[in-house]
Amino acid sequence: MDKKNLVFAAYCVSSALQDVTRLQAERLTHLNIAFGVVENNLINADSFYENRYYIDQIRSYNPNLQILISTGGGGAMGHGEATKPENLEAFVKSTMDIVRDLELDGIDCDWEFPCNTGHMEEKEQHVQLMYAYRRELDKYEKERGKKCWLTIAAAAWDKYLKNTDVKKVAEVLDFINLMTYDIRDAAWAENYTGHHTNLYSPKNCFYPDSIDLCVEKYHDIGIPYDKIVIGAAFYSHRWNGVPDVNHGMNQKVDVPCIYGPSYTAIYHIYENGGEYVKYWDDDAKAPWLFNGDSFITYDDPMSMKYKAEYVLKKGVRGIMYWEHSYDKTGLLFDAIYDNLFKD
């Protein structure tokens, strides 16, 4: 992969845009602002307008930064109804009106997830939405004389591949933001502790899930490596009530995991507070914390280094991360950038 074409993309909620520094804006290639909310079969971006000052400020820091509206989001409902044939045109127009008005550079569709509620017609609706977005973005591209981008956030689960026609959708996408965090497809339901954004499969664990395995699954169905952007996490997952065995790794727990601390808190409190011990899985290229009861899985600068090296070796398009405000130290951001664009 030519480094001029590498993607270094941030997801940042609109209320946290003020956290994007000048240097970070200069180093990013794409900024996905979250979220344009699906509401009454249209996209509502009120929070974007409330923070328009920061959008303009970030653009002034780096006029070459590609700024996209990310629509939908985790647990968001509404795409299924909004993209029915009778609603699709108005839905697409509402998104494009925002893109034009805010002079954005494209759309990142984060439909989580087609067919999740059993409505299998959403598989085709997802395709039609992407093709409609592409047509309208191509028109806008000609109007403004500057490229318009279309991407999606895609899950790393087998279920997602069954419920979407990713290969067909990819034909009109610039790249796919592969959410290679929360990737433990089988292990979530079984409540086993383990990594949630590991680069390679752990040994002797309940689950095989990994970033590399997910990339290969997408590639096997026809997605070129250079249309895949892997995901990194600035947040953690946590299990409480974990047996004090094997430093908490691969243990059956009675209750599901919860979202854990941000990397900011992990760095300042959990790694250096004396209560937790930090461990490193050299097979998976991932860290974890354990205090005899609570298990925390997360990314650190070393795991980011390995992710960046993987991108360069594998030839995938780049790295994106969720979410910018969860690391106020800047250490994870710098680890990605320094290793992705190193000489």
Q: How far apart are CA 281 and CA 246, in angstroms?
A: 12
One of 3.90.550.10, 3.20.20.80, 3.40.1410.10, 3.60.21.10 is the CATH number of 3-233+300-340, namely 3.20.20.80
Q: In tens digits, what is the pLDDT along the chain, a chain of 343 residues?
A: 678 899 999 999 999 999 999 999 999 999 999 999 999 999 999 999 999 999 999 999 999 999 999 999 987 779 999 999 999 999 999 999 999 999 999 999 999 999 998 999 999 999 999 999 999 999 999 999 999 999 999 999 899 999 999 999 999 999 999 999 998 865 577 789 999 999 999 998 878 899 999 999 999 999 999 999 999 999 999 999 999 999 999 999 998 899 999 999 999 999 999 999 999 999 999 999 999 999 999 999 999 999 999 999 999 999 999 999 999 999 999 999 999 998 7
Which residues of 93-216 form beta strands (DSSP E)?
A: 106-110, 149-155, 175-179
Tell me the whole-structure pTM to 2 decimals.
Answer: 0.97
In the chain, domain spans: 3-233+300-340
Closest CA to 267 of 227, 296, 294: 296
Instruction: Detail the DSSP E strand segments found in 162-227.
Output: 175-179
Rounded distance between C-alpha atoms, residue 301 and residue 321, angstroms: 13
Torsion 284-289-292-295 (CA) sign: negative
Say which amino acid occupies 125: Q
What does the alpha-carbon distance between residue 294 and residue 240 come to, in Å, rounded to a whole number? Answer: 4
Centroid of chain to Cα 160: 15
On whether the CB atoms of residues 251 and 297 are closer than 8 A, the answer is: no
Question: What φ, ψ does residue 218 adopt, rounded to 5°?
Answer: -65, -40
68 pairs with which residues across the strands?
32, 106
- Max CA pair span of the chain: 62
Unique residue bearing structure tokens 């993209």: 83
Neighbouring residues of 343: CB distance < 8 A, sequence distance ≥ 6: none
Q: Is the dihedral of CA 217, 219, 221, 226 positive or negative?
A: positive
State how far the Cα of 257 lies from the Cα of 239, in Å rounded to an integer.
5
